[in-house]
Structure 1
Amino acid sequence: MLLATVNSSIVIISLPAIFRGIHLDPLEPGNVSYLLWILMGYMLVSAVLVVTLGRLGDMFGRVRMYNAGFAVFTLGTLALALDPFQADAGAMWLIGWRVFQGIGGALLMANSAAILTDAFPAERRGMAIGVNQVAAIAGSFFGLVAGGLLSEINWRLVFFASAPIGVAGTIWAYKSLRETVRRTSGARVDWLGNATFAVGLTALLAGVTYGIQPYGGHPMGWTNPWVLAGVVGGAAVLGLFCVIETRVAQPMFHLELFRVRAFVAGNSAGLLTAIARGGMQFMLIIWLQGIWLPLHGYRFEETPLWAGIYLLPLTVGFLVAGPLSGHLSDRHGARALSSGGLVLSALAFTGLLLIPTDFPYWLFAVLIFLNGVGSGLFAAPNSTAIMNSVPAGQRGVASGMGATFTNAGMVLSIGVFFSLMIAGLADTLPRTLTAGLTEHGVPSAIAAQIGNLPPVGTLFAAFLGYNPVESLLAPTGTLASLTPADAGTLTGGSYFPNLISGPFHHGLVIVFTLAIAISLLAALASLLRGGRYVHEDEPTPRKVVAVGES
C-alpha cells in the first residue's frame, strides 16, 4: 500500500523535472492534456477497476490478485523509467504506462483490506487496518519529499527508486502470502455489469477532468459538449449499472449490501471525506509553491521539494492518530472516533481559512497537523467498520467499493476544487495581473492579453514550480525591451506572490468553505452508522450422526 501511494504522489512533485527530461513545455495550451493525464490517469484507472478486481479476488483468490498487482505495478515502474521517446511521444509513453501501472495499484488496493480482514479476528482488525491506512496516507506525502529529492538528480530516478521495492515485494508476496478463506465456488463474471460500471465511471471522471481545461474563450470547460456528455452520460450509464445489478443472478456488486447501515454510512462518509481532503493537497502545494515559499526567499525551482518538506506535519498527524484510532475502534467502535476526527478536520480547515496568505509557519504547521490527526482518527475505524459489516465471501468486492469511493472522491475533488479556485481567480486575477504588468513597463496590449489568459495556466505554473510571470512574458519577447529594474522586479521571487495573494485568498475562501461543509456532512453520515456491528457468517452445517452410526 505504501508503494502504491508513494508512486501516486511522487509524480506530482516531479512533473517539472519529468517534462524537462522529455523536452516538453507543460504550460503550452496544447500540452495541458498531457499534464492532466499524467496526474489523473493513475487515479482514474484505479477508481474504475478496484471493484471489478475485488470481485475477481473473491472468485479466484485475493492473494493471487494481490500478488499479480505487485508484478504489474513493478513492470509499469520499469517501463516508465525507460521511456525512450521525447516530446509528445514521450508524454504518451508515460501516460500509457501510468494507466498500466494503475491496474497494478488497483489490484493492490482492491484486495489489501480484504486480506487483512481475513487474517485478523474482529477484535484486532482495527489496529491492522489502521497500520494499512497509515501506510496509504503516509505514502502520499512521503512521495512528495522523495520526488523532490530524486528529481533534482535525474527524473528517471523517480521511477527507478520504486523498482527495487516492487521486485522485492513481488518475490516476498509470492513466497509468503497464503489464502486464508475458501474462494467463492461456481461464481461467474458479470460481464455486462463490469462493462457498464467501467464505461460510466470512466466517462464521468474524464468529464470532470476535462472540465477544468479552458474551452471556447471560457476559463473552464464546463460548457464543452463533450464534458457535459461525459458527466451526464456517465451518470446515466452508472444508473443502468445499478438496474443490471438487480437483474443478474451473480452480480458484480451485491446492492443488498447498501441495506446494511454500517456499510452505507461508512462508504458515504469515506466518499465525502475524499472529496474534502483530495483537493486540499493540491491547494496547499500551490499556496506554498506559488506564494509563501517565494516570499520567504526560495527560488521557484526549489519550491516543489520544500513544499513536500513543509507539509510533513500533516503526515505526522496521521501517523500519530491512525494506529491509535484503529486500536481504540476495536474496543469502542467507529462512530465516535470517525465523527470526531471529521469535526477536527473541519476545525482545521476553518483555521486555514482564517490565517493570512503570508502566514507564520508554526501556525500553519499546527493546523495541518490537526488536520492530519482528524484524518487519522477517521480513516482506520471507518475502514474497519465497513469491512466488519460484510460477509466473508464479499470482502474483496466491498474493499474494492470502498477504494472506488475514495479514489473517485479524489478525482472529483480535484475537478471541483480547481474549478472553484479558477472561478475565484477569474473574478479578480485578470485586472490585478494586467494593472501590475502595465505598472512595470509591459505594453498595455500585451499586459491585457496576458491578464485575460485562463487562470488555470497561472495555477499550473505555480503548482509546477515555474516562475509564472517569466513563463507568461517569455513567449512575447517583452522582457528584453524592459528596463533591467522592471525586468528584475517582474521575474523576482516576491512580485508574483504579492500580486496573486489577494485573488488567491479569494479563491481559497471558496474552496475551504466547501471543504468545511463537506467535512461536517461526512461527520453526520458517520454518526448515522449506529453502534459497533460485526457480520457473523453462518457456521458450516454439521452432519448429525445417529446413535450406532459410524
Structure 2
Amino acid sequence: MQYKWIALSNTTLGVLMATINGTITIISLPAIFRGIGINPLAPSSFQYLLWILMGYNVVTATLLLSFGRLSDMYGRVRLYNLGFLVFTVGSILLSLTFGSGDMAGLELVIFRIIQGIGGAFLMANSAAILTDVFPVNERGRALGINQVAALAGSLIGLILGGILSVINWRYVFLVSVPVGVFGTAWSYLKLKETSARNREGIDWVGNAVFGLGLILVLIAMTYALMPYGSAQTGWGNPFVILSMVAGLGLLASFPFIETRVKYPMFRMELFRNRMFAAANFAGFLRSIGYGGLMIMIVIFLQGIWLPLHGYSYSETPFWAGIYTIPLMVGFVSAGPVSGWLSDRYGSRGLATAGMVLVGIGFLALTALPYNFSYPVFGAIIFMMGVGNGMFASPNTSSIMSSVPAKHRGAASGMRSTLQNTGQTVSIAIFFTIVILSLSSSLGPSLAHALAQAGAPQLSPYVQKVPVTGALFAAFLGYDPVKALLGTLPASVASQIPSSAISIMEQRTWFPSAIAPSFMLALRETFYFGAALSFIAAVASALRGKAKIPEEVVQYDAEKTRR
C-alpha cells in the first residue's frame, strides 16, 4: 500500500473523529444539560451553552497558527500524532464529567478546551500532511475525500447524538474514545515524517499579540450575547466594550508586527500570491456567512418545528439529526467530484459556483413559513450542501498548492485559523441577530398568544422573560411560561381561567407562540448569510487561474520520483 493512501486514511479518520464530536454535541445539548441538572432559565445558564458551542473553536482558532509554525519546525506528523492523543484524553474526561449543575457545566467547558487543543494539532497538520504526499494533479481528490469525511462525520454525529442522548448523555462523548484510541495508535505506528524541517525560531511576540487579541474579541462577542442590566444583550457592558476595543487593537497591530520580526508566524508575504489571498478571503467570508447556520436550524427544529408536528421533546434530537441529512448528503455527493474536477480544470469556477448556490439557498430559506413543508426545506438544504461541497476541497487545494513546500504547515495553520475564527464569529453574529430581533418581537408575540389562550393579564409578566432564556428553553425542551405560572402572586394566579392554563400547558402552545417572531429573526440571519456568500463568490472569482510556484512543482516532482 502506497504511503500516501496510509496518510489519507489516517488524516481522514482524524477529521471524522473531530467532526463527529462537533455535531454530536450540538444535537445532544438538551440531554446533556438535563443530565447535569442545569436550569435553562437561570441567568448564568446561557454562558454554558455558548462556551460549550464556541469554546472549542475559540481555542483552535487561537492556537492553529502557533501549532502550524511548530509543525514546520519539529515535524508535522509528530505534532499531528500528539493531537490525536490529546483529543482522545479530552473525550475521556468529558465522558467522566463529575458533579452537577454549574460545576458540571464548568467541567464540560474545560474538557472541551482540552479537546480543542488536540483538535488544533490535528487541523493545523492534516491538510499539510496530505499536500506533502500527494502530487499536484491528485491533491484536489485527496483533499476532497478528506472534506467528505468531515461532512460524513457531521452526519454520523447528528444521528449518533440523537440515539445516544436518549440512552445516556455520557455516551455522547464516550463514543469517540475507541476511534481516538485506534487512531492514536495507528498514527504513531504508521505515519512518518516526509517534510523538510524549517528550523526558524518562534515568533513569541506575534504569538502573544495574535492569541490575546483573538481571545479578547471572541470573549467579548460571547458575553455580548448575554443580558446586561435591563438590556437583552451585553453590547453595552463595559467589560465587553473594553475587551472588544483591546482585542481589535491588538489584531490591528499584528500585521505590522509580523512584517518586522525575524521569524513571523503569520507570513504576510504569502498574501502577495493572488490565489492564496483570494482563496483565504473567500473561505473566511464563507465561514462567517455559513458557520452559524447549523445551530440555528437545529434550534428551530428541536424547539419549534418538530414539537409542532407531534414529536416529544425527548425525540427531537434524533429527528433533528435525521431531518438535516440532506445538507450532509449534498456535501458528500459533491465533495469528491469537485476535488476530481479541480485537479483537471482548476478551482476558480467550481468554488465560485458553489458559493453562488449557497447564497441562493439562503435566499430560498427566507421564503419559507415557520410551519414549512419538509420536502421543500430538504431540497433547499441539499442544494446548500452541494454548493459547499463544490467550494470546500477546490478552495483548500488552491490554497495549499500556491505556497512553497517549506511553508505548508504555516499556510495550513493560517487557513484553518481563518476558517475557525470565521465559524466562531458566525455563531456569535447569528445569535446576536436573533436575540436583537426577538427582543422587539418576542414580547408582543407571547402577549398575543396569551390573549388568545384567555390569560391577557399575564402579558406584563411575559415581558420579563429574557430572550436568551426563551431561546435556550425552546432548544432544551423547556417552557418558560410554565415556570412563570409557578412564580405568580396568588392574587394573579387565581384570576387565570383553568381553560387558559390547560391551553398553555399543551406541548405545542409555547412553540406556536414564539414561532412567528423566531422565524422573522431567522430570516434576518439568512439574508446576512446570503450577502456573505455572494461576496465570497466574488472573492473566489478574483483568485485568477492556477499558477503553481516553480519550487512547489519541483518539490512535488522529486517526491513523486521517490
Could you report, residue by residue, the CA deviation over 1:322-352 in whole angstroms, capped at 9, with x for unpaired residues? 0100010001111100000000111111111
Match of 1:385 among 398, 404, 427: 398
Assess if the C-alpha contact under 8 Å between 1:48 and 1:198 holds in 2: yes
The residue that corresponds to 1:100 in the other structure is 114
Counterparts of 1:523-538 in structure 2, within 5 Å, are: 523-537=537-551
Give yes or no for the alignment of 1:216 onto 2:243. Answer: no
Q: Which shifted more, 375-384 or 406-415?
A: 406-415
The residue that corresponds to 1:457 in the other structure is 469
Could you report, residue by residue, the CA deviation over 1:83-103 in whole angstroms, capped at 9, with x for unpaired residues? 222222222211111111100
The residue that corresponds to 2:408 in the other structure is 395
Query: What one-letter code is carried by the residue in structure 1 that aligns with 2:467?
Result: P
> Could you say if the C-alpha distance between residues 287 and 128 of structure 1 is closer, same or farther in structure 2, counting changes exceeding 3 Å?
same
SS at 2:292 equivalent:
helix
1:171 Cα offset (Å): 0.1
Q: Distance in 2 between matches of 1:475 and 1:34?
A: 25
> Could you say if the C-alpha distance between residues 5 and 126 of structure 1 is closer, same or farther in structure 2, counting changes exceeding 3 Å?
same
Give yes or no for the alignment of 1:199 onto 2:219. Answer: no
Give yes or no for the alignment of 1:143 onto 2:160. Answer: no
> Could you say if the C-alpha distance between residues 472 and 532 of structure 1 is closer, same or farther in structure 2, counting changes exceeding 3 Å?
farther
Assess if the C-alpha contact under 8 Å between 2:41 and 2:480 holds in 1: no
Q: Distance in 1 between matches of 2:469 and 2:266?
A: 41
Match of 1:501 among 494, 497, 515: 515
Structure 1 length as normaliser, TM-score? 0.94
Could you report, residue by residue, the CA deviation over 1:97-117 in whole angstroms, capped at 9, with x for unpaired residues? 111110001110110000000
Query: What one-letter code is carried by the residue in structure 1 that aligns with 2:475?
Result: F
The residue that corresponds to 1:165 in the other structure is 179
Could you report, residue by residue, the CA deviation over 1:409-448 in whole angstroms, capped at 9, with x for unpaired residues? 111111111111122222221122123224435472x432
> Could you say if the C-alpha distance between residues 520 and 539 of structure 1 is closer, same or farther in structure 2, counting changes exceeding 3 Å?
closer
The residue that corresponds to 1:423 in the other structure is 436
Could you report, residue by residue, the CA deviation over 1:294-344 in whole angstroms, capped at 9, with x for unpaired residues? 111111232122111100000000000001000100011111000000001
> Could you say if the C-alpha distance between residues 252 and 298 of structure 1 is closer, same or farther in structure 2, counting changes exceeding 3 Å?
same
The residue that corresponds to 1:262 in the other structure is 275
The residue that corresponds to 2:43 in the other structure is 29
Q: Distance in 2 between matches of 1:472 and 1:228?
A: 33
Match of 1:283 among 296, 306, 324: 296
1:266 Cα offset (Å): 0.7
Runs of 5+ unmatched residues, structure 1: 542-550
Match of 1:184 among 179, 198, 207: 198
Q: Distance in 2 between matches of 1:158 and 1:276?
A: 28
Give yes or no for the alignment of 1:308 onto 2:321. Answer: yes
Q: Distance in 2 between matches of 1:247 and 1:368?
A: 46
1:177 Cα offset (Å): 0.6
Query: What one-letter code is carried by the residue in structure 2 that aligns with 1:489?
Result: I
Q: Distance in 2 between matches of 1:167 and 1:538?
A: 35
Assess if the C-alpha contact under 8 Å between 1:114 and 1:396 holds in 2: yes
> Could you say if the C-alpha distance between residues 474 and 531 of structure 1 is closer, same or farther in structure 2, counting changes exceeding 3 Å?
farther
Assess if the C-alpha contact under 8 Å between 2:68 and 2:125 holds in 1: yes
Assess if the C-alpha contact under 8 Å between 2:365 and 2:377 holds in 1: yes
1:487 Cα offset (Å): 2.6
Give yes or no for the alignment of 1:116 onto 2:130. Answer: yes
1:523 Cα offset (Å): 0.2
The residue that corresponds to 1:54 in the other structure is 68
Q: Which shifted more, 171-180 or 485-494?
A: 485-494
SS at 2:315 equivalent:
helix
> Could you say if the C-alpha distance between residues 476 and 191 of structure 1 is closer, same or farther in structure 2, counting changes exceeding 3 Å?
farther
Q: Distance in 1 between matches of 2:210 and 2:549?
A: 27
1:55 Cα offset (Å): 0.9
Match of 1:18 among 22, 32, 51: 32
Q: Which shifted more, 530-539 or 152-161?
A: 530-539
1:482 Cα offset (Å): 5.1
Q: How many pairs align?
A: 539
Could you report, residue by residue, the CA deviation over 1:143-196 in whole angstroms, capped at 9, with x for unpaired residues? 2221121111111111111100000000000011111121113x2111111111
Q: Distance in 2 between matches of 1:480 and 1:410?
A: 49
SS at 2:233 equivalent:
coil
Assess if the C-alpha contact under 8 Å between 1:344 and 1:370 holds in 2: yes
Q: Which shifted more, 269-278 or 478-487?
A: 478-487
Could you report, residue by residue, the CA deviation over 1:490-541 in whole angstroms, capped at 9, with x for unpaired residues? 1323222322222122212211111111100000000000001222327999
Give yes or no for the alignment of 1:324 onto 2:324. Answer: no
Identity, % of aligned pairs?
A: 49
SS at 2:282 equivalent:
helix
Give yes or no for the alignment of 1:66 onto 2:76. Answer: no
Q: Distance in 2 between matches of 1:345 and 1:251?
A: 35
> Could you say if the C-alpha distance between residues 260 and 93 of structure 1 is closer, same or farther in structure 2, counting changes exceeding 3 Å?
same
SS at 1:537 equivalent:
helix
1:480 Cα offset (Å): 9.3
Root-mean-square deviation over aligned CA pairs: 1.9
Query: What one-letter code is carried by the residue in structure 2 that aligns with 1:456?
Result: T
Assess if the C-alpha contact under 8 Å between 1:314 and 1:372 holds in 2: yes
The residue that corresponds to 2:148 in the other structure is 134
Could you report, residue by residue, the CA deviation over 1:190-225 in whole angstroms, capped at 9, with x for unpaired residues? 111111111001111111111111112111111111
The residue that corresponds to 1:545 in the other structure is none
Give yes or no for the alignment of 1:434 onto 2:453. Answer: no
Q: Distance in 1 between matches of 2:323 and 2:247?
A: 38
Q: Distance in 2 between matches of 1:52 and 1:411?
A: 18
Could you report, residue by residue, the CA deviation over 1:260-309 in whole angstroms, capped at 9, with x for unpaired residues? 11111111111111111111112211221222211111112321221111
Give yes or no for the alignment of 1:351 onto 2:330. Answer: no
Give yes or no for the alignment of 1:80 onto 2:94. Answer: yes
Q: Distance in 1 between matches of 2:418 and 2:476?
A: 28
SS at 1:147 equivalent:
helix
The residue that corresponds to 1:447 in the other structure is 459
1:229 Cα offset (Å): 1.6
1:474 Cα offset (Å): 4.5
> Could you say if the C-alpha distance between residues 479 and 340 of structure 1 is closer, same or farther in structure 2, counting changes exceeding 3 Å?
farther
Structure 2 length as normaliser, TM-score? 0.92
Query: What one-letter code is carried by the residue in structure 2 that aligns with 1:303?
Result: T
> Could you say if the C-alpha distance between residues 473 and 188 of structure 1 is closer, same or farther in structure 2, counting changes exceeding 3 Å?
farther
Give yes or no for the alignment of 1:521 onto 2:524. Answer: no
Runs of 5+ unmatched residues, structure 2: 1-14, 556-562
> Could you say if the C-alpha distance between residues 539 and 138 of structure 1 is closer, same or farther in structure 2, counting changes exceeding 3 Å?
closer
Query: What one-letter code is carried by the residue in structure 2 that aligns with 1:320?
Result: S
